[in-house]
Amino acid sequence: MHFSTPTALALSSLILGGSAAPAIKRQSYPNIDADILQYALTLEHLENAFYKQALSKWDQQSFTDAGFPAQFYDDLKYIAHDEEGHVLYLEAGLTAAGAKPVVACTYNFPMTTPLSFVQLASVVEGLGVSAYLGAAADITSKAYLTAAGSILVTEALHASATRGAVGEIPMANVFGTPLGLNAVYTIASGFIVSCPSTNVALPVSAYPSLTLVSGAPSAPGAVVDLQPKTIPTGSFFVTFVSGLDIIPVAPQSVANGMVMAVVPTMISGQSYAFLTTDNSGNLTDSNILAGPAIIEVTPSSPTFNLTIT
Ligand SMILES: *[C@@H]1O[C@H](CO)[C@@H](O)[C@H](O)[C@H]1NC(C)=O
Ligand SMILES: *[C@@H]1O[C@H](CO)[C@@H](O)[C@H](O)[C@H]1NC(C)=O
């Protein structure tokens, strides 16, 4: 994959508001956008490394032996190529804008077979979509929003291809699911062993982890078991996030270090659960106690209304 200077300049001018003179415009470089760009690059490095590890380990025959169609291996190569392209695009844009791009970390991906890799890929791609969607509202440059949206579209296509390949419905929700930076980082940091100390510190921190112990995949109305590191003291809620819905519920029961909760009917597709101090339906650093846990919820059959025209 080669990467041309004009593309690098295109992104730098997006960040800098269309100027071809980065040195002059650097003062107006929006710090929040630079942070988000480094955050996006952190995630793209992770995805790039993930596909390269898997495709170094398993060849086309391994995937066909695991039951995937012969052509699916090509899809994976396209995805790897896309993630590499995203890394190079963000690196070049940051460099051209005078920032030092973060470099790749050391990762640990729980994948032992082609199938477990593709299942994990579907989750990682869903997380990528949630990351770009959740960061969108923080981006101050409209042009940069277009670049981020452009990457989001590609990540959503990856999510669709990998979900379809493992039998999950790609379009299980009417809406995509936005997640805040800290929530995404909480999950992503689970794959990161260590990062070079020379990487710029990102303005993100992980929440206490929350593990889905049973209920994968789940269904609306089913019970999921969630395990936090420690059960919160005092009353708390399980807040589900799926598409544009944020639905807090009281736990059904709490026992043996486990929190049981009923999956609300609106939850569908790759969704997330947090433990929260309140049932406000607001998710902020101040009310999130733990999470997110990733919950895959298989929808019931779709319905639509022929009289709505
Ligand atoms: C939820 O957030 C909104 C917007 O920030 C705020 O107006 C509202 O008071 C919050 N609700 C609760 C219960 O904290
Ligand atoms: C279908 O949509 C029409 C028009 O909005 C509404 O009156 C009707 O109740 C809907 N039917 C169902 C089964 O939801």
- The predicted pLDDT at position 214 comes to 85
- State in Å: Cα 282 to ligand 1 middle: 6
Q: What is the pLDDT of residue 37?
A: 93
Give nearest CA residue, ligand 1 atom 11. 280
DSSP 8-state code for residue 189: G
pLDDT for position 165:
98
Domain 5-194: assigned CATH number: 1.20.1260.10
Per-residue confidence (pLDDT) for residue 295, from 0 to 100: 96
Q: Among the residues of 106-191, which ranges form H helices?
A: 114-136, 142-165, 181-188
Supply the residue whose CA is at minimum distance from atom 11 of ligand 2.
Answer: 305
Ligand 2 centre and the CA of 307: distance in Å? 7
Which residues, 6 or more positions from 303, have their beta carbon under 8 angstroms from its beta carbon?
A: none
**280 CB under 6 A from ligand 1?**
yes
As a whole number of angstroms, the distance between CA 292 and CA 242 comes to 12
Please list the residues that pair with 245 across neighbouring strands: 242
- Determine contact, residues 246/281, Cβ cutoff 8 Å: yes
CB 229 within 8 A of CB 219: no
Which CATH class name applies to 210-297?
A: mainly beta
pLDDT of residue 305: 93
- Confidence at residue 29, expressed as pLDDT on a 0 to 100 scale: 46
pLDDT along the chain (309 residues), means of 10: 36 36 37 88 98 98 98 98 98 90 98 98 98 94 90 98 97 96 97 96 94 88 96 96 98 97 95 98 96 94 91
- Residues 57 and 106: beta-carbon distance below 8 Å: no
With the most atoms of ligand 2 within 8 angstroms of its CB, the residue from 304, 307, 309 to mutate is: 307
pLDDT for position 62: 98
Nearest ligand to the C-alpha of residue 276? 1
In the chain, domain spans: 5-194, 210-297
Q: What is the pLDDT of residue 4?
A: 35
